[in-house]
A = this chain, B = another copy of it.
Amino acid sequence: MTREPPRRRATIKDVAKAAGVSAMTVSNVLNGRLQFVSPATKKRVEREIERLGYRRQANARSLRVAEQRSIGMVIVDESPAFLADFFTCQVVAGLANVLNSADFTLTVQGMRGDQLSSSMIMRNFEVAGFCAMIAGPDMERHQSIQKLVELDQPLVVFQEPFESAGGDLCIVRQDDRGGGQLIGDHLLARRVTDFLAIIPAQVWPAIEMRLAGLRESLAANGGVARLTVITSKSESFADVQEVVAQHLATHPLPGAIVGANDPIATAAMLYLFDHDVRVPEDVRIVGFNGFEAHRYARPRLTTVDSAAYALGERAGKAMLERLESGRFESAEYVLPVHFDAGATT
Chain A interface residues (CB < 8 Å from chain B): 1-4, 9, 53, 55-63, 68-70, 80-84, 86, 89-90, 92-94, 96-97, 100, 103-111, 119-126, 150-152, 236-237, 263, 266-267, 270, 273, 291-298, 309, 325-327
Contact = CB atoms under 8 A, between A and B. Distances in A.
Contact of A86 (B53, B60, B86): B86
Copy number in this complex?
2
A223 to B, nearest CB: 34
18 contacts: A1-B326, A57-B124, A58-B124, A59-B59, A59-B63, A63-B63, A81-B94, A86-B89, A96-B109, A97-B110, A105-B108, A106-B107, A106-B108, A108-B108, A237-B292, A237-B295, A293-B294, A296-B296
Nearest to A57: B125
Contact of A107 (B61, B80, B105, B296): B105
B124 A263 contact: no
A159 B149 CA distance: 40
Contacts of A89: 83-84, 86, 89, 93
Given A63-B63, A296-B266, A125 B56 contact: yes
Nearest to A69: B120
B125 A326 contact: no
A293 B309 CA distance: 18
Given A59-B62, A100-B111, A293-B294, A309 B2 contact: no
Nearest to A273: B298
